[in-house]
Structure formats: structure tokens, C-alpha cells
Amino acid sequence: MSLVPQIEARLRQALTPTELVLRDDSALHAGHAGAREGGHYHALIVSERFRDLPRVARHRLVYDALAELMQQGIHALAIDARVPDER
């Protein structure tokens, strides 16, 4: 079961992105040992909330928004976190 709708809702609420593109890459990892523990996702997030923050702090904001889901269905999350003028 894809968590994309839940991930999207939490990221929109926490980060008010101007752009949000989520991709469920779980099928690409079928058979991988971690696949049993949850899905694999990729997120492109463009938000002013990331302005003047280093990459680690940007990722921390994303992980904080998804904390509960990280324990209940997300095994891996690739994050591309940018501000609008980094596009």
C-alpha cells in the first residue's frame, strides 16, 4: 500500500511547498531485505521554509513532518529539498 497521499498531506501541512513531487519507488526494491519493513519513496520539495538552512537541517524538517510514518511504513526516503530560486 502506497503512503503517497499521507506523505503529501503531512509535507504540505508542515512545509507549505510551492512544489511537491512524490514518487513511490517501492516496486524497484522488491526482494530487497528492507522492502518488508516499508516502502521506498523519493520527494522533491520546494519551500521557503528551507531558506538559509543547510541540507541537514532541511532534511530534519522533512523527517520531523513524517516522524510517525517513518515508524509505520517508510523504509527509505530520498529527499531533494530546495528553495524556489534553486530550481
Q: What does the pLDDT look like over 54-77, one tens digit per residue?
A: 999 999 999 999 999 988 889 889
Helices (H), 16-66: 55-65
Measured between alpha carbons, how far is 55 from 37 in angstroms, rounded to an integer? 26
| Domain spans, the chain | 4-86
Angstrom distance (rounded) from CA 7 to CA 5: 6
Q: Given this model, what pLDDT does residue 31 score? A: 58
pLDDT of 4 strictly over 60: yes
27 strand-pairing partners: none
pLDDT in tens, 16-42: 999 999 999 987 756 555 555 678 999
Q: In Å, what is the CA distance from 55 to each residue of 15, 16, 59, 61?
A: 15, 18, 6, 10
Q: Which fold has domain 4-86?
A: GMP Synthetase; Chain A, domain 3 (3.30.300)
